[in-house]
Amino acid sequence: MENLLSERILSTPPSFVRSILKTAADPEIISFAGGLPNPVSFPQEELLKSMKNIVDKFGSAVFQYSLTPGIPQLREYIANRYNKKFGLNLDYENILITTGSQQALDLISKVLLDKNDNVVVEKPSYLGAIQVFSQYQPKFHTVELTENGLNIEQLKEVLKNDIKLLYAIPEFQNPTGLTYSAENREEIFNVIKDKNMVLVEDDPYGELRFEGEHLPYIGAGKFKNSIVLGSFSKVVTPGMRTGYIICQNKELIKHISISKEASDLHTNVFAQYLIWDYLMNNDFDAHIAKIRKLYKEQAHAMLNAMDKYFPKNIKYTRPDGGMFLWVTLPEDISALELFPKALEKKVAFVPGDPFYINKKNVNTLRLNYTNADSKTIEEGIKRLGELLNAIPVKTLSRS
Amino acid sequence: MENLLSERILSTPPSFVRSILKTAADPEIISFAGGLPNPVSFPQEELLKSMKNIVDKFGSAVFQYSLTPGIPQLREYIANRYNKKFGLNLDYENILITTGSQQALDLISKVLLDKNDNVVVEKPSYLGAIQVFSQYQPKFHTVELTENGLNIEQLKEVLKNDIKLLYAIPEFQNPTGLTYSAENREEIFNVIKDKNMVLVEDDPYGELRFEGEHLPYIGAGKFKNSIVLGSFSKVVTPGMRTGYIICQNKELIKHISISKEASDLHTNVFAQYLIWDYLMNNDFDAHIAKIRKLYKEQAHAMLNAMDKYFPKNIKYTRPDGGMFLWVTLPEDISALELFPKALEKKVAFVPGDPFYINKKNVNTLRLNYTNADSKTIEEGIKRLGELLNAIPVKTLSRS
**pLDDT tens per residue across span B155-171:** 999 999 999 999 999 99
B165 sits in which H/E element: strand B163-168
A150 sits in which H/E element: strand A149-150
Confidence of residue B135 (pLDDT cuts 50, 70, 90): very high
Nearest CA to B35 out of B351, B352, B370, B297 is that of: B370
On average, the pLDDT of chain A sits at 94
Half-sphere exposure of residue A255: CA atoms within 13 angstroms, side-chain side: 25
Q: CB of B184 within 8 Å of any CB in chain A?
A: no
Q: CB of B258 within 8 Å of any CB in chain A?
A: yes
To the nearest whole Å, the CA of B126 is away from the closest chain A CA by 12
A142 has pLDDT over 60:
yes
DSSP B15: P
Least confident of A156-165, B7-16, B390-399: B390-399
List B residues 124-143 in contact with A (Cβ-Cβ < 8 A).
128, 131-132, 134-136
Q: CB of B259 within 8 Å of any CB in chain A?
A: yes
Question: Cβ(A331)–Cβ(A314) under 8 Å?
Answer: no
List A residues 142-181 in contact with B (Cβ-Cβ < 8 A).
164
Q: How far is CA B305 from the centre of its chain?
A: 25
Q: What is the pLDDT of residue B368?
A: 98
As a whole number, mean pLDDT of residues B195-220 equals: 97
On average, the pLDDT of chain B sits at 94
Q: CB of B197 within 8 Å of any CB in chain A?
A: yes
% of chain A surpassing 70 pLDDT: 95
Phi, psi at residue A28, to the nearest 5°? -75, -15
Confidence of residue B394 (pLDDT cuts 50, 70, 90): low
Residues in A touching B71 (Cβ below 8 Å): none
Report the residue of A233, A234, A265 to disrupt the B interface, i.e. the one with the largest count of B CBs within 10 Å.
A265
Q: What is the pLDDT of residue B182?
A: 98
Confidence of residue A399 (pLDDT cuts 50, 70, 90): very low
Residues in A touching B127 (Cβ below 8 Å): none
pLDDT tens-digit readout, B266-309: 999 999 999 999 999 999 999 999 999 999 999 999 999 999 99
Confidence of residue B17 (pLDDT cuts 50, 70, 90): low
d(CA B178, CA B146): 8
To the nearest whole Å, the CA of A132 is away from the closest chain B CA by 5
Q: What is the pLDDT of residue A64?
A: 96
Alpha-carbon distance values, B366 to A94, B124, B335, B387 (Å): 33, 11, 10, 16
Confidence of residue A394 (pLDDT cuts 50, 70, 90): low
Q: What is the pLDDT of residue B18?
A: 67
pLDDT tens-digit readout, B24-66: 668 899 999 989 999 999 999 999 999 999 999 999 999 999 9
Residues in A touching B112 (Cβ below 8 Å): 4-6, 9
Cross-chain Cβ contact B239/A52 below 8 Å: no
Residues 6+ apart with CB under 8 A from B255: A5, A9, B111
Cross-chain Cβ contact A131/B261 below 8 Å: yes
Q: What is the pLDDT of residue B245?
A: 98
Residues in B touching A198 (Cβ below 8 Å): 4
d(CA B60, CA B62): 5
Q: What is the pLDDT of residue B390?
A: 92
Nearest chain B residue (CA) to A45: B55
As a whole number, mean pLDDT of residues A334-354 equals: 94
Handedness of CA B118, B119, B123, B127 (dihedral sign): negative
A71 has pLDDT over 90:
yes
Confidence of residue B362 (pLDDT cuts 50, 70, 90): very high
Q: How far is CA B202 from the centre of its chain?
A: 7
d(CA B159, CA B161): 5
Cross-chain Cβ contact B240/A63 below 8 Å: yes
% of chain B surpassing 90 pLDDT: 89
Q: What is the pLDDT of residue B397?
A: 45
Residues in A touching B52 (Cβ below 8 Å): 48
Nearest CA to B6 out of B140, B113, B109, B115 is that of: B115
d(CA B320, CA B292): 10
To the nearest whole Å, the CA of B69 is away from the closest chain A CA by 12
Q: What is the pLDDT of residue A398?
A: 42
To the nearest whole Å, the CA of A51 is away from the closest chain B CA by 8
pLDDT tens-digit readout, A234-278: 999 999 999 999 999 999 999 999 999 999 999 999 999 999 999
d(CA B248, CA B250): 6
DSSP A38: P
Question: Cβ(B370)–Cβ(B37) under 8 Å?
Answer: yes
% of chain B surpassing 70 pLDDT: 95
To the nearest whole Å, the CA of A87 is away from the closest chain B CA by 25
Q: What is the pLDDT of residue A397?
A: 46
Q: CB of B4 within 8 Å of any CB in chain A?
A: yes
Task: Look at B110 and B16; give whichever has higher pLDDT.
Answer: B110
The model's pTM is 0.96
Nearest to A9 among B6, B51, B110 (CB): B110
Q: What is the pLDDT of residue A21?
A: 66
Cross-chain Cβ contact A3/B55 below 8 Å: no
A24 has pLDDT over 80:
no
The length of chain A is 399
Q: What is the pLDDT of residue B399?
A: 41
Confidence of residue A9 (pLDDT cuts 50, 70, 90): confident
Q: Could you tell me which residues are beta bridge partners of residue A229?
A: A202, A245
- Which stretches does DSSP call E strand in A223-263? 226-231, 243-247
As a whole number, mean pLDDT of residues A195-221 equals: 96
Task: Look at A391 and B243; give whichever has higher pLDDT.
Answer: B243
Confidence of residue B92 (pLDDT cuts 50, 70, 90): very high
Cross-chain Cβ contact B65/A102 below 8 Å: no
A16 has pLDDT over 90:
no
Q: What is the pLDDT of residue A17?
A: 67
Q: What is the pLDDT of residue A215?
A: 95
Question: Cβ(B100)–Cβ(A265) under 8 Å?
Answer: yes
